Structure 1
Amino acid sequence: MDIERFTKCENGQKERLLVKDWSTGPIDLLREALKLIQDPYHICTFALIQVIIVVPSTVLVLLTQWFEYEVVHKLVLQPPAPPAPWPDMWVVFLIFVALSIGSLVLAVNHVAATFYTAGSMYSGNNVSFKQVMQALPGLWKKLIVTALWGHAFYVIESLFFFVVFNGCNAIFAVPVPILCIVTSVAAGLAFFFTNTVLQLAYGVTVFDGDDCQGVAAIVKGLCLARNQWCNALGLLLINDLPGIVLGTAFTFSVLSTLDAGSKCVIAGIVIFLASVFRNLSSVTYILFYFSVKVSRGEKINFDAIADQSQFETRYKTIGGGLTSC
């Protein structure tokens, strides 16, 4: 995706943002995402988003993954033998709920911050981290509805595969290794489908008006995903798969027999790398949404994010060229 990005001129005027060639390949989107993050006028904004929002969000996500691993492997696959007592399952449930809610809240703030920053850049405006934080409440109210519905699908999928796994293991005595492989592949496909639709639904929620959120946004995201599955798979492999691998590495590093100091060092490195991939993935999916809209001949209404801040939007639409306000 070759784009002439805006810069601040010496006289204070903004240059017009022109779309020269909207190609939707995953590598093109990743390359453009890197350009956005490294933009000299916004590198500090993205860095602060990384440190203040993305890193805490990544920590909670990794802790949730580790907790799920502990519960599944120590309580389901290897239940404590009598007379060893089971832990209070209500405590386990409350810890899981607390971690999930915290992860969801920070994830929504991350999505709102990156969408607002990238949208502001494409509308021809420099945006500071302070402006991003001021815009979060307005965007958060819309995005949380879509996020709750999206994560409800994740929960349903997780419960379904949990029941299938334990049912097949107990009733049909399917060997655990085979069962793990089959359910992992099926769960991976379900995650890929839901994640792609949800990422596009976030774009719909932010740019398509207040009435398009929640289920309506997810349905429209599903429509946008049509004929885009190859590109979405590419994004999954280059963006999300490294994060999944790093999450697994975090879990095993915590459970390893290494000393506490080594565990902290490894965990810190993994958290940093995972947060970088999460931030890059979020920006890439924003560009994926933009490219899908343009490929369908639809315009993107940047006034939707301009309403969340005090700045004046000068160039507000992508698709068929930008138009001056």
Structure 2
Amino acid sequence: MDREQEELQFLGFFGICKESIKIICTWSKIFTKLTLTLIIPLSIIFLANDGFSTFISSKIITNANTLDYIPPGTPTYNKISNLITSEWITFWIIKLVYFIFLLIFSLLSTSAIVYTIACIYTSKDVTFKNVLSVVPKVWKRLMVTFLWNFGIMFAYNIIWFFISLIIILIWLMFINPNSNELLGLNIVFPITFVIYLLGFAYINVIWQLACVISVLEDIYGVQAMMKSKDLIKGKMGISCLVFLVFTINLVGIEFLFEQIEVIDWRIGFVGKFGYGILCLVLLTLLFLFGLVVQTVIYFVCKSYHHENIDKSSLAHHLEGYLGEYVPLNSKNIQMEEFDV
């Protein structure tokens, strides 16, 4: 990043995207190695889960439909019933394995990309070997931040479940079930769902910035989440737009990949394989671009709040990962106010 820090605060959505692309292209060699080592496996895990889940789900649905035409208690019925049970067990085992590996490679990729960009920002020599040696240490800090986000999201979903339940009960208490006014629920629930999505996006935007903070500053976990909440003020709109665009593209790629099982390919296996490779490439580029943008937003937010990052202190903080890590005090690592 060759921009002056004061200039970063003026970057909008397209400016952040342009800066991210410039970083990737300028340092393409190390980003290519990180992509091959961490991000492609992450993408494969993501798509493989979709493929296996779709395949097993279709088998469960087919067998469940078959049971409707077979008398209960017959040997055939029991055989198919046991088969469905084993398929459900397989389904949830795959989900558990998927979640574990997705979490590992997601945190490793985040650690590597954030550390690499910070080294670029401080003009510090960065090699693929150094990044890989740092990643396991940074990964532990990110895990704590992730667990806090997981707990917050779990509580958020539980709260919204009870809110929805209360809305239904109140509505049924004051509205005649046989009345056309019951259709008002069709209006209430979309509104509450939109509110839920806004809260969901807000929490995830804070978490993504907290991940960067966990790597570049001496705090992590709930402290990083709180710092992220304060830091993102003033740039929430841009951050939410980035999250929305990323999510739409992710869902779009996932939808395209699922069409492999739906579309009747006349060119057979070769067509499906090529189509799958295309989805893998698109998803890999999306993950890489998303992680770089996530880090750039951190520097943009810092600049917006007039918090000057002392490059020498940040470089010293990053070097601490290469040896025995000793957390730096926030007073030492960064940030002095600067006047615009």
TM-score by length of 2: 0.72
> What secondary structure, in the 3-state scheme, does the structure 1 residue paired with 2:5 have?
strand
| Aligned match for 1:57, one of 27, 31, 42 | 42
Task: Give yes or no for contact 2:118–2:216 (8 Å, CA) kept in 1.
Answer: no
TM alignment of 1:1-325, pairs within 5 A? 4=2, 18-19=4-5, 21-22=7-8, 23-39=10-26, 42-66=27-51, 80=65, 81-82=67-68, 83=77, 84-85=80-81, 86-88=84-86, 89-153=88-152, 188-209=197-218, 212-258=219-265, 259-300=268-309, 302=314, 303-309=316-322
Give the fraction of aligned pairs with identical amino acids, expressed as a percent: 19
Question: Given the superposition, is the C-alpha separation of residues 188 and 274 from structure 1 closer, same or farther in structure 2, using an over 3 Å criterion?
Answer: farther
Residue 277 (structure 1) shift: 1.1
Aligned-pair CA distance for 1:306:
2.2
Unaligned runs of 5+ in 2: 69-76, 324-332
Q: What amino acid sits opposite 1:225 in the alignment?
A: I
Q: CA deviation at 1:185?
A: 5.2
Whole-angstrom distance in 2 between the partners of 1:29 and 1:216: 26
| Structure 2 letter corresponding to 1:26 | F
**Quick check: 2:34–2:112 contact (8 Å CA) kept in 1?**
yes
Does the 8 Å CA contact 1:294/1:319 hold for their aligned counterparts? no
Give deviations 1:69-107, integer Å, cap 9, x for gaps.
Answer: 66778769x954444423333332221010011001000
The count of aligned residue pairs is: 292
Structure 2: distance between partners of 1:69 and 1:178: 32
Conserved? CA contact 1:299–1:319, under 8 Å: yes
Which secondary structure does the structure 1 equivalent of 2:85 belong to? Answer: coil
Give the direction of change, closer, same or farther, for the CA distance of 1:257–1:208 in structure 2 (3 Å limit).
same
CA distance in 1, matches of 2:191, 2:258: 22
SS at the partner of 1:4?
Answer: coil
Instruction: Give the deviation of 1:197 after TM superposition.
Output: 1.0
More helix by share: 2
Contact 2:5/2:303 (<8 A) preserved: no
User: Aligned Cα RMSD in Å?
Assistant: 3.8
Uncovered stretches (5+) of structure 1, i.e. residues with no partner: 6-17, 311-315
